[in-house]
Amino acid sequence: MGEKARLHVFIEGRVQGVFFRAHTRDEAISRGLAGWVRNLPDGRVEALFEGEREVLNSMLAWCHQGPRYSYVDRVETEWRPYLGDLQGFRIVY
């Protein structure tokens, strides 16, 4: 098993109103990641992922592209230590 980590991201661009959260959830679940995703009042999307670092890098690459109809201008990332306190992956409102 690979090294585990936590990844906190803020995604800017046309990321609200294009099902970014739902696609992020589906992508994270398909990769076996735990965490959450939510819209922010300033138009960004925030997400927290936890899992194997190699899988997190794959998820991060997806975040730079996003789903169809979205446009990502910038992704801020913060790597954190793995805590193991997240269960499943969900959309937070």
Catalytically active residues, by annotation:
21, 39
CB atoms within 10 A of CB 14: 14
26, 62 Cβ separation under 8 angstroms: no
Strand duo 34-39 + 89-91: pairing: parallel
The first and second tokens of residue 44, run together, are 């960004």
